[in-house]
């Protein structure tokens, strides 16, 4: 019997119910009971949707209030001592303190970084060398019981122990030993598995996505040891080890030799997995959950191609042991394309969101089980959709293609080297030592969001909306001048999102009203959809930058999102290389950068927070990606004069291993997250150095906590101790969009005071 399933499902609610419940709870407007009731309603709706789609096995415990890795830390009791946890069940206050910090108790949040190469952030567990683990959460058991009560054939999902430990970080001053930690965590996992089995779980899924990265023999041996223990603990339950986001490479033989009952492989981003099966075979005693429906992109699946893959697998996998699944959790795509009534019908017909992908899985399963004739209408419709996309004139713009074809070496390089540019820029800008600035955005208050919605609905005129934005800009300029900031921003009040705002003004993009996906916690984004060749029909930001500069004598930054980030934070067309799409975006931004310079803007920031997350998961593929990504940034910024200062910003990824490529971007100033990750970037700069301007973030903006002046001054001293020979800037970790105005004012007041304290000390020490 062929079975259909998915790796996981979106947990935000069809209409973002979880976001509203979380933010109401955090603000004190709702109780814990209210929050948990909304969460239960979302889980119930998710189960019902998957049942109605005809899935045979449905994942549970894929839901989370904030993050699945944080859930795992709570499950195994990996709570740092400074949170004051009493050692019992991890309560919501402790849970959210780890995620967001706790202002009342002056607790910082745990570090946050990108989930592999996805635009999702996970909370990084912090462990000590003698870390003790204990079962400290009832969540997987409660959610499995919910599904049982609803009559669902449910498969509990857990983050596997190797993935959990390898994604964790040592507490300050600690050194972690994988084998030692594994020996202590495996008994807790065994207890969880045993309890789920005793409760009636037929299958239990353990996610081990770290297996699609380069793994050492020692790590693979540790994996084998752990799963040998689970085999003894699972009772009558069956274990499925699930991988995603790529191929398992050198881990394949170890993976299929584990004493488990099934293996999940990504056959979309990890097409090499099929080659591994064809070369080495697949065990007759195991199920293969074949991920043939893309869980990371929104295009309609090529059902004929997927069936060909499945039938190729069928030559190596027993007929009753082949499941049809998604390549990854569907949490990375929006929920339902049918909600997008305003999309161009022609473009909309090319797309499948999470609910549509459930039906694609089911169609493929029926075709395998009953033959193509059973789903002939669906296959015919699918073929017609794919053909309409290939033939559509919406996708092509010959002028863009021609412009790319004539690019030369000079298009990717500034006119002079950094030192010569630095002198020209200082002569023009006349900045003090350790200049202060922010990353770009200021709080998007309820008033701002309400006015944007009213404008989008046609309730106010363009003139009324522009007048409101001008008032916000005037206020934020006055605030920044009053605080004593040296380089100002306009606050980005007109922007809905740092990628969407630009995509809406570029040709080749489509947008949704309800296409939300989770970035972290209650922060959701609506990724643009790149369906055709990209071009810029008109200036996008010049009007607001020019207006703001007219309000002040201090430099104002033009604010752009970089081409690599726009690419990586969008759903990208799959009919041409990603590098080509990136360079099309870069050419559009190049036009914007030169127009900003022409309007008198002397500082232009082109943010690339997603450049690290776009790295292929295998080191062997890094050089090719970094080559075209770096060139994409340089293509967008190289057209300006020496006097124009180019900034960039990066955050919430591990940047140490690409610091040379970051330098190769040739930005005049780099702003990079540093405070939330416990000044981790300083070790990178200590090892590798840096030869241009740099601003390591002085405080974490993802927490409502306001750090005192002396704490920020200590951070600055630590940074200056490493970066004393470069032009040093003072700034927060990231943009201030998500913070409340009173938090921003207090934090920036302290930041400027800390900078002034160090300036005075520097003068006195001369």
List the catalytic residues. Answer: 702
Write out 273-339 in H/E/C secondary structure: HHHHHHHHCCCCCCEEEEEEECCCCCECCCHHHHHHHHHHHHCCCCHHHEEEEECCCHHHCCCCHHH
Considering only CA atoms, which of 275, 270, 369, 278 is closest in space to residue 323?
A: 369
Considering only CA atoms, which of 304, 257, 252 is closest in space to residue 273?
A: 252
Give the position of tokens 């004139």: 393
Q: Is 498 left (phi over 0), alpha (psi -120 to 50) or beta?
A: alpha
DSSP 89-107: SPPHHHHHHHHH-BTTTTB
Terminal-residue alpha carbon distance, the chain: 80
Taking the alpha carbons of 343, 345, 349, 355 in that order, is the dihedral positive or negative?
A: positive
- Do 597 and 604 touch, CB atoms closer than 8 A? yes
- H or E segment and range at residue 607: strand 603-607
E strands, 536-599, are 557-561, 571-572
Considering only CA atoms, which of 368, 323, 358 is closest in space to residue 338?
A: 358
- H or E segment and range at residue 35: helix 32-52
DSSP 643-685: TSEEEEEE-SS--GGGHHHHHHT--SEEEE--TTTTTHHHHHH
Distance of alpha carbon 409 from alpha carbon 291, whole angstroms: 41
Measured CA to CA in angstroms, residue 547 lies from 79, 105, 175, 489 at distances of 49, 42, 52, 11
Distance of alpha carbon 651 from alpha carbon 611, whole angstroms: 10
Residue 728 DSSP class: B
Residue 124 DSSP class: P
Distance of alpha carbon 379 from alpha carbon 302, whole angstroms: 9
- Do 207 and 227 touch, CB atoms closer than 8 A? no
Considering only CA atoms, which of 153, 157, 278 is closest in space to residue 208?
A: 157
Distance of alpha carbon 89 from alpha carbon 66, whole angstroms: 17
| DSSP β-bridge partners for residue 3 | 323
Measured CA to CA in angstroms, residue 85 lies from 89, 103, 645, 673 at distances of 9, 16, 48, 28
Output 215-224 pairs: Cβ under 8 A, ≥24 positions apart: 215/250, 215/251, 218/178, 218/179, 219/162, 219/166, 219/178, 220/250, 220/251, 220/254, 222/162, 222/178, 222/179, 222/182, 223/162, 223/251, 223/254, 223/255, 223/258, 224/254, 224/257, 224/258
Residue 372 DSSP class: G
Which residues have CB under 8 Å from 332's CB, separation 6+? 118, 119, 120, 295, 296, 517
**Residue 403: exposure state from Cβ atoms within 10 A (0-12, 13-18, ≥19):** middle
Considering only CA atoms, which of 355, 293, 331 is closest in space to residue 120?
A: 331
Distance of alpha carbon 218 from alpha carbon 58, whole angstroms: 34
């Amino acid at each position: 019997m062929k079975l259909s399933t998915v790796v996981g499902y979106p947990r935000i609610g069809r209409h973002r119910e979880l976001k509203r419940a979380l933010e109401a709870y955090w603000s004190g407007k709702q109780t814990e009971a209210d929050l948990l009731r909304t969460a239960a309603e979302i889980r119930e709706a998710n189960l019902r949707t998957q049942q109605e789609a005809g899935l045979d096995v449905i994942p549970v415990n894929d839901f989370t209030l904030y993050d699945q890795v944080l859930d795992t830390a709570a499950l195994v009791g990996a709570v740092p001592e400074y949170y004051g946890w009493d050692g019992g069940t991890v309560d919501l206050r402790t849970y959210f303190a780890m995620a967001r910090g706790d202002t009342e108790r002056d607790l910082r949040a745990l570090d946050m970084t990108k989930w592999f190469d996805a635009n999702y952030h996970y909370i990084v567990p912090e462990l000590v060398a003698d870390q003790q683990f204990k079962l400290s959460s009832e969540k997987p058991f409660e959610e499995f019981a919910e599904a049982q009560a609803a009559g669902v054939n449910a498969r509990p999902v857990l983050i596997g122990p190797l993935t959990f430990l390898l994604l964790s970080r040592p507490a300050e001053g600690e050194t972690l030993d994988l084998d030692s930690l594994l020996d202590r965590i495996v008994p807790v996992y065994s207890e969880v598995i045993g309890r789920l089995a005793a409760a009636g779980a037929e299958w239990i899924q353990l996610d081990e996505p770290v297996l699609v990265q380069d793994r050492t023999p020692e790590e693979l041996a540790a994996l084998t040891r752990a799963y040998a223990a689970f085999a003894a603990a699972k009772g009558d339950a069956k274990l499925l080890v699930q991988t995603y986001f790529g191929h398992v490479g050198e881990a394949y033989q170890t993976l299929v030799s584990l004493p488990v009952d099934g293996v999940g492989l990504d056959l979309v981003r990890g097409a090499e997995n099929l080659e591994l099966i064809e070369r080495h075979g697949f065990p007759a005693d195991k199920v293969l959950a074949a991920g043939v429906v893309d869980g990371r992109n929104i295009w309609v699946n090529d059902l004929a191609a997927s069936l060909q893959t499945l039938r190729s697998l069928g030559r190596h996998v027993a007929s009753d042991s082949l499941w049809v699944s998604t390549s990854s959790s569907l949490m990375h795509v929006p929920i339902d394309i049918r909600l997008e009534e305003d999309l161009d019908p022609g473009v909309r017909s090319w797309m499948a969101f999470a609910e549509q992908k459930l039906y694609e899985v089911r169609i493929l399963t029926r075709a395998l089980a009953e033959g193509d004739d059973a789903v002939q209408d669906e296959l015919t419709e699918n073929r017609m959709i794919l053909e309409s996309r290939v033939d559509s004139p919406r996708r092509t713009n010959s002028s863009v293609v021609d412009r790319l074809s004539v690019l030369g070496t000079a298009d990717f390089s500034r006119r002079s080297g950094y030192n010569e540019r630095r002198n020209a820029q200082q002569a023009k800008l006349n900045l003090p030592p350790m200049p202060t600035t922010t990353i770009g955005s200021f709080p998007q208050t309820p008033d701002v969001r309400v006015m944007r919605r009213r404008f989008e609905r046609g309730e106010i005129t363009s003139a009324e909306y522009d007048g409101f934005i001008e008032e916000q800009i005037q206020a934020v300029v006055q605030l920044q001048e009053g605080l004593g900031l040296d380089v100002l921003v306009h606050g980005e009040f007109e922007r809905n999102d740092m990628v969407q705002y630009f995509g809406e003004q570029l040709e080749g993009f489509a947008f949704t009203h309800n296409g939300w996906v989770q970035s972290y916690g209650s922060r959701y984004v609506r990724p643009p959809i790149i369906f055709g060749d990209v071009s810029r029909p008109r200036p996008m930001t010049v009007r607001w930058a020019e207006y703001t500069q007219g309000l002040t004598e201090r430099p104002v930054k033009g604010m752009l999102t970089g081409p690599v980030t726009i690419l990586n934070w969008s759903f990208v067309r799959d009919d041409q290389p990603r590098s080509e799409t990136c360079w099309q975006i870069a050419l559009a931004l190049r036009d914007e950068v030169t127009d900003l310079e022409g309007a008198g803007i002397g500082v232009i920031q082109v943010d690339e927070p997603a450049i690290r997350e776009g790295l292929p998961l295998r080191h062997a593929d890094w050089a090719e990606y970094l080559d075209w990504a770096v060139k994409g940034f340089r293509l967008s910024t190289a057209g300006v004069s020496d006097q124009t200062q180019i900034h960039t910003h990066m955050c919430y990824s591990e940047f140490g291993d690409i610091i040379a490529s970051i330098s190769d971007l040739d930005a005049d100033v780099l702003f990079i997250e540093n405070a939330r990750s416990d000044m981790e970037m300083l070790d990178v700069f200590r090892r590798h150095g840096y030869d241009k301007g740099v601003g390591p973030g002085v405080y974490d903006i993802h927490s409502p906590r306001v750090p005192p002046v002396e704490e920020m001054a200590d951070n600055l001293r630590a940074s200056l101790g490493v970066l004393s020979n470069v032009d040093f800037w003072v700034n927060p970790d990231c943009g201030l969009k998500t913070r409340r105005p009173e938090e921003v004012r207090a934090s920036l007041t302290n930041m400027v005071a800390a900078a002034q304290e160090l300036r005075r000390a520097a003068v006195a020490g001369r």
